[in-house]
Amino acid sequence: MNKEFKTSVSPCAVTDEELQLINKLTVKELSAEEVYTFNVILCDNEVDRDCERFDIAALEKMAVLFVGVTGIFDHNPGSGNQTARIFTAKCEKIPGKITSLGDEYICVKAKAYMPRTNKNADLIAEIDAGIKKEVSVSCSANSFTCSVCGNDIRHGNCGHIKGETYNGKLCHCVLSDITDAYEWSFVAIPAQVNAGVTKGYESKFRKTQDLIKAIKNGECVKFTRQQSREICDYISSLEKDAEDGRLFRKSLTEEVVKFALISVPSLDGESIEKMCAQTETRELMKLRDAFRTKAGEVIPLSPQLKAKKETKTVNNNEYKF
């Protein structure tokens, strides 16, 4: 699960106490002049654009787990993509700030460091200029609870839809029981406005066909708004195909009836139509071809404008007296 926020990354001066914390993570002891440090808000308790939020227990756990975790770019796990490391983190209340649910706003505020090298010079300049300031955390959560009924929102025990309001209460997923913190990344597009670290819970189903397969298997499936739009588009395309199929089958049935009556005049048209209604389309096409061949034997089906064969003129002048 990736959580992305539009955070306020800001440079800060390193204290002697913080330098000691940094050197616990280094192989070589660094001086204050050799490191660049900055603040970063990793996540908060606000409901994000995916209608999910961390509870306080989850934030407190992540403040512990993210200490020592490396920072990368766009969740690319390559070792050459490492850029910074968190050396301290804590839950922090922002005085006077309230979440959309009316709760006191709480975030995980961390401090990260990176060595001042030629390689990092451009990144440091971009952080100072406010260019690089969106980050995303990657973590694992065991609890996904519906805010309305309190049931697990993943396994079909909850019938509520995230983003909908029930008796004045917004339905959202409460994320808790954080078991691990993997990495945090600089990203380009934020999803959660207040804390700013973009968050994106990966749905179990990514493709429309996966959703349809799950429904066929009798699973309880909840759609995101995007998935709902995709399903509606898919249904619209099926409706168009179905209408085309009905028109084709109607035309096919008319041909079968016509050729059958020509081939076997004793047959009844209504009976033939009933037979066609109970026959699959592929078999109906074979039946049409068979009756058309037979009808061609009964009444030669030649074009009205068929070209006449040229007749050879015989000259009998030599036999004339």
Strands 197-200 and 2-6: antiparallel
| Number of Cβ atoms within 10 Å of the Cβ of 40 | 27
Give backbone dihedrals phi and psi of 203, rounded to 5 degrees, phi first.
Answer: -70, 150
CA distance 270 to 249: 16
pLDDT at 272: 87
CA distance 86 to 71: 8
CA neighbor of 138 nearest in space, from 207, 72, 51: 72
When pLDDT is averaged across residues 94-101 and rounded to a whole number, the result is 89
When pLDDT is averaged across residues 73-82 and rounded to a whole number, the result is 75
Tell me the per-residue pLDDT of 270-279, one tens digit each, with 9 for 90 and over: 888 888 888 8
Give backbone dihedrals phi and psi of 112, rounded to 5 degrees, phi first.
Answer: -125, 160
Please answer whether residues 87 and 25 qualify as being in contact, where contact means their C-beta atoms are separated by less than 8 angstroms.
yes
Please answer whether residues 142 and 148 qualify as being in contact, where contact means their C-beta atoms are separated by less than 8 angstroms.
no
Please answer whether residues 107 and 89 qualify as being in contact, where contact means their C-beta atoms are separated by less than 8 angstroms.
no
Mean residue pLDDT across the chain: 81
Span of 50-59, 160-169, 206-215 with lowest mean pLDDT? 206-215
Strands 52-54 and 35-44: unpaired
CA distance 194 to 198: 10
Please answer whether residues 71 and 85 qualify as being in contact, where contact means their C-beta atoms are separated by less than 8 angstroms.
yes
CA distance 51 to 48: 5
Which residue ranges make up each domain of the chain?
2-202, 241-298
pLDDT at 86: 94
For 40, what's the count of Cα atoms within 13 Å in the CB-facing half-sphere? Answer: 32
pLDDT band at 83 (very low <50, low <70, confident <90, very high): confident
| Number of Cβ atoms within 10 Å of the Cβ of 233 | 11
pTM above 0.75, yes or no: no
CA neighbor of 172 nearest in space, from 59, 61, 43, 48: 48
3-state secondary structure of 294: helix
Q: What percent of the chain has a predicted confidence (pLDDT) above 70? A: 80
pLDDT band at 202 (very low <50, low <70, confident <90, very high): very low
pLDDT of 85 > 90? The answer is yes
When pLDDT is averaged across residues 255-267 and rounded to a whole number, the result is 86
| For the chain, the helix, strand and coil percentages under 3-state DSSP, each to the nearest 5 | 35, 25, 40
Please answer whether residues 86 and 64 qualify as being in contact, where contact means their C-beta atoms are separated by less than 8 angstroms.
no
CA distance 187 to 53: 19
pLDDT band at 222 (very low <50, low <70, confident <90, very high): low
pLDDT band at 79 (very low <50, low <70, confident <90, very high): low
Give backbone dihedrals phi and psi of 302, rounded to 5 degrees, phi first.
Answer: -105, 150
Beta-bridged to residue 91, according to DSSP, are 108
Q: What sign for the dihedral angle of Cα 160, 156, 43, 201? A: negative
